[in-house]
Amino acid sequence: MYTHFWEDEMVHALSSSNVGTNKPGRVKTVATILPPSTPAPYSAPVVIPQGAGARFNLGGFGINWKIDGVHTDRRFSIIQHPLAPRALAAPLHRHHREDEYSFVLTGKLGALLGDDVVIAEPGTWVFKPRGQWHTYWNAGDVPCEIIEVYSPAGFEDYFRELAPIWPDRTKSAELLRKYQLDLDFDSVPGLCARFALTSARPN
């Protein structure tokens, strides 16, 4: 189910002249809600609290929207992905209009980048340039969580449009054309067998 936490979306922190406390050494922060459709630039600091953002779950692969292209003048967007143990995130695929950069927060991320297999632990960045066939998965037996940066922005909306039609793959052709994304659905069984994974994707 697609869940939208509007009240947690982005927190617009007021300037220091508007906040205060009577306890020395502590700062009281007063915040107002910054709707996800509010474009940059902003007149005060912006804070995105832990747990903020709309969420959708594809089984073992989760989507938590954090920063949209409207917030960055379309330069980049950011999604946080939780992956269940041994979960394959996607079939082999390639993007034609954006680069991806994955930062591992927790757990162990496996990735197939062209013909190369890499394992990334917390604190590691993994580059997935446009035009490269790739996929990724949780390579461990505990949950893994990553930050995914898309540059330029736009691909965050692919997941928004995927949510209402999931898991009916017969409706995905137009979506793939729109976002210039190639998916090799036939790669899933081989990937799962090769790396001992499970997939949220329908057969």
Degrees, nearest 5: CA angle 147-184-151: 35
Give average pLDDT by consecutive 10-residue segment, the chain, 203 residues. Answer: 39 38 46 57 76 91 94 94 97 98 98 98 98 98 98 97 91 95 96 94 59
What domains, with CATH codes, occur in the chain?
Answer: 8-52 (no CATH), 54-199 (2.60.120.10)
Q: Kindly tell me the sign of the dihedral angle through the C-alpha atoms of 139, 143, 144, 147.
A: positive
**Phi, psi angle pair for 69, to nearest 5°:** -60, -30
pLDDT given for residue 114 in this prediction: 98
- Extended strands (E) in 6-48: 11-13, 31-33, 46-47
Surface-to-core class of residue 74, CB atoms within 10 Å of its CB (0-12 exposed, 13-18 middle, 19+ buried): middle
pLDDT given for residue 86 in this prediction: 97
Surface-to-core class of residue 128, CB atoms within 10 Å of its CB (0-12 exposed, 13-18 middle, 19+ buried): buried
CA distance 130 to 100: 7
Surface-to-core class of residue 172, CB atoms within 10 Å of its CB (0-12 exposed, 13-18 middle, 19+ buried): middle
